Structure 1
Amino acid sequence: MEDIRSYLESGILELYVLGELSHEEAAEVQALAVKHPEIADEIAAIELALEQYAQSNAIEPDTAVGQRIFAEIGPAISLPASPVAAAVPPQHQTVTDPETGNQSARLRRLQFWLAAAVTLLVVSAGALFYTYSELSAARERITGLSLQNQQYTRNATYMLKSNEELRTMLNMNADAGWSAVRLAGTAQAPEARMMVYWHKESKQVMVNNVNLKLPEHDKNHQYQLWALVNGKPVDLGVFDAGKDTSSMMIRMKEIATAQAFAVTLEPAGGSKNPTLERMVVMGAVSI
């Protein structure tokens, strides 16, 4: 009998009611409750005292605060249901304890365990919220660093490409084999102008994209460069105006001989023959 009294005062039943025991420990309490009616009565009394304490000390939480916390930490946290109902046999659900002193001691003990459980829950929720906030901040920092790295890579690539094109332009200026052909606007586009570079020996043809002044066109059309060879137009490829400013020079198709260069506006992809009424610039090659 003394062992039963010590067991009742050990605090394990309060932990059982609060759902803080492991599966094995809870199973042991359930088995003892079936075997010893006084343990079952104690469990029922603790449950009743817990209900009375909760009702007398209930505080209505701030709805806005609760919504904010759970919106931040994700899915709602639910407390495990007390397994008392399954543990206590039906014949011990009703408790009559005539000893007022024992009831008061039991209530004080239950208050202590309840306060400890609430404190643990608050600390756990706070720690979870803090961890979630730190993870969110770290994720934002990583995203920011990734975007910065991508921008740095793009800038570095652009600078390398620009340096290569600058070296090419310097070499072109130093090479007497390059001829600069100025193309002036026609009646279709009087303000248009552009510069074409042609190397007679290597047959290379380049369009200066920096000083390109042609009317912008829609996505269904492109400009097409033509070389006039003995009065016949020869296709040198298509390009866009005002679309790509990352390249200083646009490489076109090669040509061995030409007396003039002209540009017409054609359907996207180019045409076999130039549309003369859509010629925007033209320039003769200096002899």
Structure 2
Amino acid sequence: MENLKAYIESGVLELYVLGDLSPEEALQVEEMAAQYPEVKSELTAIEIAMENYAMENAVAPSADIETKLFEKLGLGKNEEVEAISTTPAYTEEAKVVKLDNSDSKVRTLRFALVACVALLMISTGALFITYNKLNAAHDQIASLNLDKEKFAGVVSKLEFDNKGLDNMVAMNDSKEWATIRMAGQAFSPKSKMNVYWNKKDKSVLINYVAMDLPKADAEHEYQLWALVNGKPVSLGVFGKTDSTSTEALQKMQAIQDAQAFAVTLEPMGGSVNPTMEKLAVMGGV
């Protein structure tokens, strides 16, 4: 009994009424209907429901379409029905058969209309589901692209740090380079920075990897100074303190002699003289 209920609720009976089953499948439904009254009753209920739905949503045809429809059905509209009822040659049984055949054709058209409506609804639902899946796929692709960009940024940062560390090791091991470690001052006590000064060609480099300064705003940048005989000499400005430079090292202006190096926060473009109240780091040679 449970299997019979599952069979009725499977939807195969609706497909049978709509004519969407293969001949073999339709034959199986007919055999089930002949064997089980519950199946037969359900088939009748589905036919009546679809017929009612078709009638409730029917659109009245024009007179021309109505005439052509009856011609296709072979009814000749009212004339043939009236001829049946008034012709002595027809028995009452013949009239019933003729009318039953006509009603069967009309019912077939009604079922066809219901089938069209059902197919339209199914197609609309399928399109809606496909649209949602496409949107979901688009969101997944966008998320993957974002993750890819983040990963590329991490790789770039690691490569940057590695390059900076390699340069630091190379310069520390070299006798030509002097490493000046600058410590934080009152303006920024926790800051730190290294300057590399070549004893041979007097060139000066700063290393972003070994740098820890507060990030400058859009109106300021940092300026490197060398103290020569007690007087500050500008060695250039730099603003990228967040390790986003394409190079780990930045070359500054060379200096022949220096007793110390310092960094101050200055307006964009630098200053002629250092702003001492914004002295960030300083270190002696």
Q: Deviation per CA, 1:242-286, whole angstroms, max 9, x where unpaired?
A: 53367894424131322221222211221122223433333221x
Structure 1 residues 256-265 or 230-239, which shifts more? 230-239
Partner of residue 203, structure 1: 202
DSSP 3-state at the match of 1:125:
helix
DSSP 3-state at the match of 1:117:
helix
2:185/2:281 contact within 8 Å kept: yes
Q: How far apart are 1:141 and its partner, in Å?
A: 3.1
Partner of residue 150, structure 2: 151
Q: How far apart are 1:186 and its partner, in Å?
A: 4.2
Partner of residue 222, structure 1: 221
Q: Where do 1:71-220 residues align within 5 Å?
A: 85=62, 88=65, 96=78, 98=82, 101=100, 104-215=103-214, 217-220=216-219
Q: Distance in 1 between matches of 2:255 and 2:123?
A: 80
1:221/1:268 contact within 8 Å kept: yes
* Higher helix content, 1 or 2: 2
Q: Distance in 1 between matches of 2:281 and 2:155?
A: 35
Are residues 181 and 86 of structure 1, via their aligned partners in 2, closer, same or farther at CA, if it must alter by over 3 Å?
Answer: farther
Larger radius of gyration: 2
Q: Distance in 2 between matches of 1:241 and 1:153?
A: 20
Q: Distance in 2 between matches of 1:256 and 1:195?
A: 16
DSSP 3-state at the match of 2:271:
coil
Partner of residue 284, structure 2: 284
Amino acid across the alignment from 1:161: F
Q: How far apart are 1:171 and its partner, in Å?
A: 0.8
TM-score by length of 1: 0.58
1:179/1:197 contact within 8 Å kept: yes
DSSP 3-state at the match of 1:180:
strand
Partner of residue 37, structure 2: none
RMSD of aligned C-alpha atoms?
3.8
Structure 1 residues 119-128 or 165-174, which shifts more? 119-128
Q: Deviation per CA, 1:172-206, whole angstroms, max 9, x where unpaired?
A: 12101111223344454555443322112243323
Q: Distance in 2 between matches of 1:54 and 1:186?
A: 86
Amino acid across the alignment from 1:223: Y
Amino acid across the alignment from 1:146: N
Q: Deviation per CA, 1:111-147, whole angstroms, max 9, x where unpaired?
A: 2211321232133223323322332333233223322
Are residues 57 and 238 of structure 1, via their aligned partners in 2, closer, same or farther at CA, if it must alter by over 3 Å?
Answer: same
Q: Does 1:271 align with 2:258?
A: no
TM-score by length of 2: 0.58
DSSP 3-state at the match of 1:255:
coil
DSSP 3-state at the match of 1:244:
coil
Q: Distance in 2 between matches of 1:124 and 1:228?
A: 81
Q: Does 1:243 align with 2:237?
A: no
Q: Distance in 2 between matches of 1:276 and 1:201?
A: 30
Q: Deviation per CA, 1:218-262, whole angstroms, max 9, x where unpaired?
A: 432222111123443222222347533678944241313222212
| Structure 2 unmatched runs, 5+ | 1-50, 70-76, 85-98
1:212/1:241 contact within 8 Å kept: no
2:54/2:114 contact within 8 Å kept: no
